[in-house]
Structure 1
């Protein structure tokens, strides 16, 4: 089977594209505010551990490092995410190079990654998906190198990357599993008959072991979280899977990744398992009810493969090609980056709700503080929030309003602290919507306020409810109110 040699890398123009994106992300990083998940990661970073209820430790650790080095601000928090996105764009171009793309093809691959909605969206925020995307691209690069060269030593690079990625998010097993299944189906199976594969698996397992042990010692809470998410959202995820595969990367890039799949299948038989890995992964995600973005990174690998044939079309239709890329960049920016005024974000929230989750946390905290001041005897009172985003916001902004440290039964907040039994006084409940089952653990609950957000996000309409006290001692109530999702 003939395998091409790698072409020269177009380093300077590719880095120029990546750095332009880095500059844009930096300029916009502080425009709205923290995302609810970022507020959670910042608190988790103060409770460093080998694991958390809902995730491995890497992203909270990165959040702590970024704020310590670059400043405890929204912009400081996001510096390492921006650098990760810059690296992701470069790796996509390197993947195109492995598929035999010349200079222009590599540049186009970098541009396509740079203007895609998914890359910009996760690059703007600190999220597990941000660093997961870079890991997936590196795995794609090393997998293509393995198949192109037949050199089993690339299994070691795959194992090292997978091990680090497993300390960020368990989803990294999906592309590797899909690739292994594809290799078993269509080959080349020779790369599986290598001791380097065993070494790679051992390295990945060794790096991931601390978090695996933490999960084992805590009865695998992340499986509980995953099962709950699948039960709650599985049907919707399956219905929306195909439309979101077309929309989230960008509709304008669909012809390119389709061309990439066809190019690999027809012209690069040594890499067919890479192409087959995408539909295999889609089947797995659909069966398990996972989120649509779980499969999106492999589309970037197909985009990288499709840039060479796309150039032939662009050469014949240059104006249309330029217009298409400009429209891709514009629509991706509007729907994933904070380019609109915060008051106009309702325009994009129906498509990308994450925009709304960055708006209004200081005002939210002010509303909670107003309700707290209505409590006559706050010395033994308790501030209890329904989810980790609200708790994180009150940790960040509450001290300026004289608020006490909040408690929350949600995710790892439940583990970090619970109210002492001496807190027998009133309880201020912060609830996205009133929940009689939740309120049954408290006495005489009455709503005293509502959070009014300037946009239609999850916090808009949040109920502020004061109860006269817990129905039982907090040590008894706490296990009963725990929330895993």
Structure 2
């Protein structure tokens, strides 16, 4: 049985298709123009390799992002620009969904357009829109789920649970984080309502729909010992304290300080407006999600998507504020805020600065630095490889301690006549080991000397150091290239001890 329409639901206005499309199109043009700058991100290099080993799951993630990376590079070319075509389209689609959420919350065309502008110039959507990452597709999934949730609460029509379940199932094939905002929303609905939406049998239908779509990956994880839970636990243990300390500052900085008044206004509007009383659970879901993320030691960006919903809600009161009192002054303030947001977000999130100046933005967006230096690393590895006597190279092995290094050598190495690299990091462990006939020297790539690994490869000495050429303070600057005499056991025996989850 379908629940009746919520009596005080806000009236839905016509959609501002043309201006929103223009904003999304402009964003797509900007992202495309800059997509070839710097180079691949370490995660992208990993996705390229994972795309050659497609499966229903990987050690650290579900299969969707590697699949999309494989599709994008197959169609558009194996370059940073080719890889990022689908992520650019995803970022543009996210702008549409934010505007649609504003529409569901009673915003007129002007407010929908303003919400789209705010989403397009916010730092977090810009940064992940530039890259092909799990977060890129996750943001769109969260926004789509948010749109369906708003429709569910506004209309009381339980059939929207099926749409939520469908989009959740697809999202679970990309990243498990989607369970966090859903949990926060369910808790909020239990606290402030409307509770009747939880008594619909359509809720069970939505859960079944999500489960059926997610089953292949969940089965893969179950049959492989749930490695993704191990990865998540390690990340929380290693970075949890820092994540908690930086959570509130990064909530402000990663979206934009200038957008704080907009999303605060959105929260207040959803909480206080009589015509939006049905949406109070969505407003409350944000602080609940923040508590959950802090409790598990998650990264600050885990809660940012819900801020975009608050931004969508805040568009209407922001424009109403503009129309009151000293209009010219207020318009100047808002215009200045929009311009400053666009400029600062672009500098922090996009590859605009010269590589030598990137260190200035790394405290807020360290992903900028992870796009620089991979060709230089590969060239340094090639130089170190030449130190292996030529007769021994056919039996020699390159072993990288992390997936970024292995991915870079896999991509750039053939131009230097380097062999396929191996690694025990994340899913690279599943794509090895080297043949047992590889009994020759091992070129070990390690950010710092690591006794655990060096002891497994005989006598070792350093033969090189990686220099990106730009003094970028990323993880690979100063990486040690260590040449060892060879594996101390057959690779098949040694391999399980080389696994590294984080």
Q: TM-score, normalised by structure 1?
A: 0.99
Runs of 4+ aligned structure 1 residues displaced above 3 Å come to none
CA shift, 1:347, in A, is 2.0
Is it true that 1:318 corresponds to 2:331 in the alignment? yes
Aligned partner of residue 423 in structure 2, secondary structure: coil
CA shift, 1:157, in A, is 0.6
Is it true that 1:364 corresponds to 2:377 in the alignment? yes
Is it true that 1:176 corresponds to 2:182 in the alignment? yes
Give matches, 1:297-376, under 5 Å.
297-315=305-323, 316=327, 317-376=330-389
Say which of 228, 234, 239 aligns to 1:233: 239
Say which of 471, 475, 487 aligns to 1:458: 475
Is it true that 1:448 corresponds to 2:463 in the alignment? yes
Cα pair 2:254 2:364 within 8 Å, conserved: no
Query: Structure 1: how far apart are the matches of 2:292 and 2:453?
Result: 35
What does residue 414 of structure 1 align with? 429
Aligned partner of residue 442 in structure 1, secondary structure: coil
Query: Structure 2: how far apart are the matches of 1:222 and 1:19?
Result: 36
CA shift, 1:189, in A, is 0.4
Cα pair 2:253 2:364 within 8 Å, conserved: no
Decide which moves more: 6-15 or 313-322. Answer: 313-322
1:273-311 per-residue CA deviation (whole Å, 9 max, x = no partner) reads 000111111111111111110000000000000110111
Is it true that 1:248 corresponds to 2:249 in the alignment? no
CA shift, 1:344, in A, is 2.0
Query: Structure 2: how far apart are the matches of 1:4 and 1:242?
Result: 32
1:233-291 per-residue CA deviation (whole Å, 9 max, x = no partner) reads 11111111111111111111011111100100000211100001111111111111111
1:325-353 per-residue CA deviation (whole Å, 9 max, x = no partner) reads 00000000001101111222222223211
Query: Structure 2: how far apart are the matches of 1:322 and 1:427?
Result: 59
CA shift, 1:354, in A, is 0.6
Query: Structure 2: how far apart are the matches of 1:456 and 1:247?
Result: 20
Query: Structure 1: how far apart are the matches of 2:38 and 2:138?
Result: 24
Query: Structure 1: how far apart are the matches of 2:119 and 2:143?
Result: 11
What does residue 468 of structure 1 align with? 485
1:126-161 per-residue CA deviation (whole Å, 9 max, x = no partner) reads 000000000000111111111111111111110000
Matched residue count: 485
Say which of 447, 472, 476 aligns to 1:432: 447
Query: Structure 2: how far apart are the matches of 1:167 and 1:419?
Result: 30
Is it true that 1:296 corresponds to 2:296 in the alignment? no
CA shift, 1:424, in A, is 1.1
Say which of 138, 141, 147 aligns to 2:144: 138
Decide which moves more: 54-63 or 471-480. Answer: 471-480
CA shift, 1:371, in A, is 0.2
What does residue 401 of structure 1 align with? 416
Query: Structure 2: how far apart are the matches of 1:229 and 1:441?
Result: 25
Query: Structure 2: how far apart are the matches of 1:478 and 1:135?
Result: 37
Is it true that 1:9 corresponds to 2:15 in the alignment? yes
Query: Structure 2: how far apart are the matches of 1:188 and 1:364?
Result: 56
What does residue 98 of structure 1 align with? 104
Aligned partner of residue 61 in structure 2, secondary structure: coil
Cα pair 2:250 2:364 within 8 Å, conserved: no
CA shift, 1:89, in A, is 0.5
Query: Structure 2: how far apart are the matches of 1:483 and 1:77?
Result: 27
Query: Structure 2: how far apart are the matches of 1:112 and 1:166?
Result: 27
Aligned partner of residue 433 in structure 1, secondary structure: coil
Cα pair 2:426 2:501 within 8 Å, conserved: yes
Is it true that 1:279 corresponds to 2:287 in the alignment? yes
CA shift, 1:426, in A, is 0.6
What does residue 484 of structure 1 align with? 501
Say which of 152, 157, 163 aligns to 1:151: 157
Query: Structure 2: how far apart are the matches of 1:144 and 1:348?
Result: 35
**Structure 2 unaligned runs (5+)?**
1-6
Give matches, 1:385-400, under 5 Å.
385-400=400-415
What does residue 381 of structure 1 align with? 396
Cα pair 2:244 2:297 within 8 Å, conserved: yes
Query: Structure 1: how far apart are the matches of 2:358 and 2:63?
Result: 32
What does residue 28 of structure 1 align with? 34
1:433-456 per-residue CA deviation (whole Å, 9 max, x = no partner) reads 111122111211000100012222
Aligned partner of residue 106 in structure 2, secondary structure: coil
Cα pair 2:265 2:317 within 8 Å, conserved: yes
Query: Structure 1: how far apart are the matches of 2:365 and 2:178?
Result: 24
Is it true that 1:69 corresponds to 2:75 in the alignment? yes
What does residue 4 of structure 2 align with? none
Q: TM-score, normalised by structure 2?
A: 0.96
Query: Structure 1: how far apart are the matches of 2:101 and 2:364?
Result: 30
What does residue 45 of structure 1 align with? 51
1:153-190 per-residue CA deviation (whole Å, 9 max, x = no partner) reads 11111000000000000001111111111111111100
Aligned partner of residue 383 in structure 1, secondary structure: strand
Query: Structure 2: how far apart are the matches of 1:74 and 1:84?
Result: 16
**Structure 1 unaligned runs (5+)?**
none
